[in-house]
Structure 1
Amino acid sequence: MIPAIALALLPGCGRLAEIGQAPQISAIGNPALQTEARTISMPMPAPTILEREPSSLWRTGARSFFRDQRAKTVGDILTVLIDIEDRAQLQNQTQRRRANSESAGLPAFFGFEQQLSDVLPDEVDPDSLVELESGSDSTGTGSVNRTERITMRVAAVVTDVLPNGNLVIAGRQEVRVNFELRELRVAGVIRPEDITNTNAIDYDKIAEARVSYGGRGHISDVQQPRYGQQIFDIIMPW
């Protein structure tokens, strides 16, 4: 029992040590050794040999005012404009009603109808031997009202150029405020001609788009049910 409690408290030992104390300031160190500043490895285009021409102000492959600055090769960066405003409103109403009535008698039956009184009880009337009635009533009402709005800008990197010229892009953005981390991810396939002259593209022009926005931290932990409750909700059949 004690080892189980110790394992449960292990992730929070750092917080327990800071109860009643101010957060510790990090020691001064080499900025190049920070996690955020470590060496980055990203998709890059194949290197090209630049040729210099004598007495020329321009060189092959150099960026200039006359060159298209829109992303087109692996490793280029473009801005994805996310402005999602989805609305869905559905309302269905169904009403059905049915009533049936059947009545059958045997007032004449080859002259033997008079003998039915000898066979059947005295309360039976040959003129109304069978009488059936049925009725059903059904009413259904359904309503759906959903509204979502996400507005963001994120930079993405071209990770691949497909044989037909389309570009595969992927981007991620993380913002941490105190103990809460917000993360935005976007990925998909775009056409080069859909990129604007400001090197940006709208999210609705991304094929196979994958947009994810969420977070983790103290606030997110409080908003989520505990692990035990989640497992209980999964395994319980009712």
Structure 2
Amino acid sequence: MRALTLLLLLALAGCQSARYDIATPEPGEQDWAPTLVQGDKAQGEDGSLYAKPSMLTLFQDRRAYRVGDILTIVLNEQTQSSKKADTSLDKSSSVGLAAPQLGNKELGDLSATLDGKRAFAGGASASQQNSLSGYITVTVAKVLANGVLAVRGEKWIRLNQGDEFLRLRGLVRVDDIDGQNRISSQRVANAQITYAGRGSLAEANQPGWLTRFFQSPLFPF
């Protein structure tokens, strides 16, 4: 019976740990790969030196606006949130019954008093703060009909004890790109930013499967 109970606990722990088994990311995955423009070098039409795909304007700085162009995202994300709640409940009641009388005789032993009191107090607080700064250079994956650019890209850094990677995708306006071909991450619409790592250091920061089991909602105690 004990062996069966132990096997059942191990099975439940395995099911719980499956929730944390996220596919290990790899560099160059298709969803994050840079958009490369294929073909030969652009040539002018009808003997002209002007080639529209490689157009250079004389009246503005060179900025990303075509598929395959490179754009630098300046990461300056900072979020902070806090929440606090307090609840208090108090209620009391009292009932008294005087001693009844029978003629001129008072029956004092039959008097009674009833008191009741209820109280409840609860409180909760939570706070969280996150910050991310740096740079990541991405490519334009698509130009929408209204001129908005869909960008995506990733950056991988190999360290002694593992890898760290940064991924970003979102939508940007050409008007928000500055003269140095950069844009703040706060101006990226529908931004999806991932900063994580893999390797021995990342694994050391994760709890073991038995710890996750005892901390899971399935644990009955």
- Give the TM-score, by structure 2 length: 0.66
Pair 1:160-2:142 in alignment? yes
Q: Is the 8 A contact 2:95 2:115 kept in 1?
A: yes
Decide which of 56, 59, 74 is 2:67's aligned counterpart: 74
Q: Does 1:90 align with 2:72?
A: no
Partner of 1:133: 115
Q: Secondary structure at the match of 1:74?
A: coil
Quick one: percent identity of the two aligned structures? Answer: 23
1:205-234 deviation digits (Å, cap 9, x = unpaired): 122211100111122222223456556766
1:123 counterpart SS class: helix
* Alignment root-mean-square deviation, CA: 3.6
The answer to whether the aligner puts 1:63 opposite 2:56 as a matched pair is yes
2:44 match: 50
Q: Aligned equivalents of 2:117 and 2:216: distance in 1? A: 41
Alpha-carbon separation, structure 2, partners of 1:45 and 1:161: 16
Alignment of 1:179-190 (within 5 A): 179-190=161-172
Give ranges in structure 2 of 5+ residues lacking alignment: 1-26
Q: How many residues align?
A: 185
Contact 2:34 2:152 (8 Å CA) reproduced = no
2:34–2:153 CA contact under 8 A, matched in 1: no
Q: 1:124 aligns with which of 110, 116, 133?
A: 110
CA distance in 1, matches of 2:122, 2:211: 34
Q: Which has the higher contact order (CA 8 A, sep 6+)?
A: 2
Structure 1 gap ranges (5+) = 1-34, 108-112
TM-score (norm 1): 0.62
User: Are 2:94 and 2:115, in contact at CA under 8 Å, matched by a contact in 1?
Assistant: yes
1:215 pairs with 197, 202, 214, which one? 197
Match for residue 193 of structure 1?
A: 175
Offset, 1:71: 1.3
The structure with the larger Rg is 1
Change (3 A) 1:102 1:50: farther
